[in-house]
Amino acid sequence: MEPVGLAKACTKAFTRVDNPGGYTWRLTPPAVKDSYFEELRKEFAWSPEDELEVKGMWEQKAPKRYSDMMSDYKRKLRASTDEGREMDRPLWMSAKFWTGLQAYWMHEAVQAVSQRARAN
Protein backbone atom coordinates (compact mmCIF):
# COMPACT_ATOMS: atom_id res chain seq x y z
CA MET A 1 0.00 0.00 0.00
CA GLU A 2 1.43 3.35 -1.06
CA PRO A 3 2.07 5.76 1.82
CA VAL A 4 -0.03 8.90 1.97
CA GLY A 5 1.98 11.85 0.73
CA LEU A 6 4.41 9.95 -1.50
CA ALA A 7 3.75 12.16 -4.54
CA LYS A 8 4.27 15.31 -2.48
CA ALA A 9 7.47 13.86 -0.99
CA CYS A 10 8.71 13.10 -4.52
CA THR A 11 8.17 16.70 -5.56
CA LYS A 12 9.92 17.97 -2.45
CA ALA A 13 12.90 15.70 -3.17
CA PHE A 14 13.13 16.99 -6.75
CA THR A 15 13.35 20.57 -5.53
CA ARG A 16 16.09 19.83 -2.99
CA VAL A 17 18.65 18.10 -5.22
CA ASP A 18 20.43 19.77 -8.13
CA ASN A 19 19.92 17.82 -11.35
CA PRO A 20 21.90 19.55 -14.13
CA GLY A 21 20.72 18.29 -17.49
CA GLY A 22 17.92 16.19 -15.99
CA TYR A 23 15.29 17.62 -18.29
CA THR A 24 13.48 14.28 -18.24
CA TRP A 25 13.56 11.34 -15.85
CA ARG A 26 15.44 9.32 -18.48
CA LEU A 27 18.16 12.00 -18.64
CA THR A 28 18.49 12.11 -14.84
CA PRO A 29 21.70 10.35 -13.74
CA PRO A 30 21.33 7.34 -11.43
CA ALA A 31 23.33 9.11 -8.70
CA VAL A 32 20.81 11.97 -8.70
CA LYS A 33 17.91 9.51 -8.55
CA ASP A 34 19.62 7.91 -5.55
CA SER A 35 19.90 11.34 -3.94
CA TYR A 36 16.18 11.86 -4.51
CA PHE A 37 15.49 8.56 -2.76
CA GLU A 38 17.68 9.65 0.15
CA GLU A 39 15.57 12.79 0.43
CA LEU A 40 12.52 10.53 0.66
CA ARG A 41 14.08 8.98 3.76
CA LYS A 42 13.78 12.37 5.44
CA GLU A 43 10.00 12.30 4.95
CA PHE A 44 9.22 8.68 5.84
CA ALA A 45 10.53 5.93 8.08
CA TRP A 46 10.32 2.24 7.24
CA SER A 47 11.82 -0.95 8.53
CA PRO A 48 14.80 -2.49 6.72
CA GLU A 49 12.70 -5.47 5.60
CA ASP A 50 10.37 -3.05 3.76
CA GLU A 51 13.21 -1.36 1.84
CA LEU A 52 12.64 -3.25 -1.43
CA GLU A 53 8.91 -2.61 -1.36
CA VAL A 54 9.38 1.10 -0.63
CA LYS A 55 12.04 1.35 -3.35
CA GLY A 56 9.60 -0.30 -5.77
CA MET A 57 6.85 2.19 -4.94
CA TRP A 58 9.37 5.02 -5.37
CA GLU A 59 10.49 3.67 -8.75
CA GLN A 60 6.88 3.67 -9.95
CA LYS A 61 5.84 7.03 -8.53
CA ALA A 62 8.96 9.18 -9.03
CA PRO A 63 9.21 9.02 -12.86
CA LYS A 64 5.53 9.85 -13.27
CA ARG A 65 5.68 12.69 -10.76
CA TYR A 66 8.85 14.11 -12.35
CA SER A 67 7.26 14.00 -15.79
CA ASP A 68 4.07 15.63 -14.48
CA MET A 69 6.07 18.38 -12.80
CA MET A 70 8.12 19.17 -15.91
CA SER A 71 5.00 19.05 -18.10
CA ASP A 72 3.30 21.51 -15.78
CA TYR A 73 6.22 23.95 -16.07
CA LYS A 74 6.23 23.52 -19.83
CA ARG A 75 2.49 24.18 -20.03
CA LYS A 76 2.84 27.31 -17.87
CA LEU A 77 5.74 28.53 -20.00
CA ARG A 78 3.76 28.03 -23.21
CA ALA A 79 0.76 29.88 -21.75
CA SER A 80 2.87 32.81 -20.60
CA THR A 81 4.59 32.99 -23.99
CA ASP A 82 1.20 32.93 -25.74
CA GLU A 83 0.16 35.86 -23.52
CA GLY A 84 3.29 37.77 -24.49
CA ARG A 85 4.94 37.68 -21.08
CA GLU A 86 7.99 36.00 -19.66
CA MET A 87 7.56 33.28 -17.06
CA ASP A 88 9.69 33.54 -13.95
CA ARG A 89 11.75 30.45 -13.31
CA PRO A 90 10.69 28.29 -10.39
CA LEU A 91 12.55 29.43 -7.28
CA TRP A 92 14.17 26.05 -6.67
CA MET A 93 15.67 25.84 -10.18
CA SER A 94 19.04 27.34 -10.97
CA ALA A 95 19.07 29.88 -13.77
CA LYS A 96 21.33 27.55 -15.76
CA PHE A 97 18.90 24.64 -15.42
CA TRP A 98 15.90 26.81 -16.36
CA THR A 99 17.67 28.15 -19.45
CA GLY A 100 18.75 24.63 -20.44
CA LEU A 101 15.26 23.26 -19.88
CA GLN A 102 13.74 25.90 -22.14
CA ALA A 103 16.35 25.20 -24.81
CA TYR A 104 15.63 21.47 -24.52
CA TRP A 105 11.90 22.07 -24.98
CA MET A 106 12.59 24.18 -28.07
CA HIS A 107 14.72 21.47 -29.71
CA GLU A 108 13.11 20.28 -32.95
CA ALA A 109 12.97 16.58 -31.97
CA VAL A 110 11.44 17.38 -28.57
CA GLN A 111 8.89 19.68 -30.22
CA ALA A 112 7.90 16.89 -32.63
CA VAL A 113 7.31 14.43 -29.77
CA SER A 114 5.34 17.06 -27.88
CA GLN A 115 3.11 17.81 -30.86
CA ARG A 116 2.40 14.10 -31.43
CA ALA A 117 1.53 13.67 -27.74
CA ARG A 118 -0.84 16.65 -27.80
CA ALA A 119 -2.52 15.31 -30.95
CA ASN A 120 -3.09 11.94 -29.30
The pLDDT, as a whole number, for residue 1 is: 60
DSSP summary character for residue 49: G
Percent of the chain with pLDDT over 90: 70
The pLDDT, as a whole number, for residue 28 is: 95
The pLDDT, as a whole number, for residue 115 is: 82
**Amino acid type, 38:** E
> Would the pTM of this model clear 0.95, i.e. be above it?
no
**Quick one: average pLDDT of 1-7?**
77
Please indicate whether residue 110 or residue 76 has the higher confidence score (pLDDT): 76
CB 86 within 8 A of CB 80: yes
pLDDT tens for each residue of 19-69: 988 999 999 999 999 999 999 999 888 999 999 999 999 999 999 999 999
Exposure of 50 by Cβ count < 10 A (0-12 exposed, 13-18 middle, 19+ buried)? exposed
DSSP summary character for residue 76: H
The pLDDT, as a whole number, for residue 113 is: 83
